[in-house]
Amino acid sequence: MSKQYKFFRIPTQPDKKEELELNQFLSSHNIQFVDRKFVNSGHSSFWSITVEYFSDKSDSSASDKKDDSKSRPDYKKILTPDAFTLYLKLREWRKEVAEKEGVALYAVFTNEHLAKIAEKRIITSQGLQKIHGVGESKITKYSKAVFEIVNSFQKSLKTNDTSKKE
């Protein structure tokens, strides 16, 4: 496996071709990180999208990559049991948000983002800013809900610890 980059230029008024190309690429590769920047150039404005992904040297077709699970992190093994439970709660929330907004899951947060939030129990905007790929727009849009989930989880852990002692 090697780290690769692919760049997309999506006009502000894209035809479905650009969107389809981007979505097909994202769904057929092991995506590590997606960064998007708006380039304001008047009538020629566009979204610059950089995709960091893992690829084997041969860069085989998407149909050959159906079983990418071997190259993806197993967060159940990586995270502590409590962090993994929080990670699952964050994934449930992300799924609901993505469905409501009609966007892909990774457009809300990637699995890696959620794992870092769960692992570090992040409850501040400064903490989110330290996660590679989490920008101001995600922080503004989603931080309140994320912090509520993390705080609620922390409280439930404390409640469970207290009830076990009694």
Do 98 and 161 lie in one domain? The reply is: yes
- Degrees, nearest 5: CA angle 82-84-86: 70
Do 44 and 123 lie in one domain? The reply is: no
Do 42 and 93 lie in one domain? The reply is: no
Whole-Å CA distances, 54 to 4, 19, 132: 6, 21, 17
For the chain, state the CA radius of gyration.
18
Minimum mean pLDDT range among 45-54, 77-86, 135-144: 45-54
Residue, of 166 and 7, whose pLDDT is higher? 7
pLDDT in tens, 72-120: 888 989 999 999 999 999 999 999 999 999 888 989 999 999 999 999 9
Tell me which residue range forms the domain holding 15. 2-56
Is there a contact between 54 and 71 (Cβ–Cβ < 8 Å)?
Answer: yes
Position 97 in a domain: yes
| pTM, full prediction | 0.57
Position 62 in a domain: no
Counts of helices then strands in the chain (DSSP H, E)? 7, 3
Do 81 and 161 lie in one domain? The reply is: yes
Do 81 and 154 lie in one domain? The reply is: yes
Output the domain CATH number for residue 82. 1.10.150.80
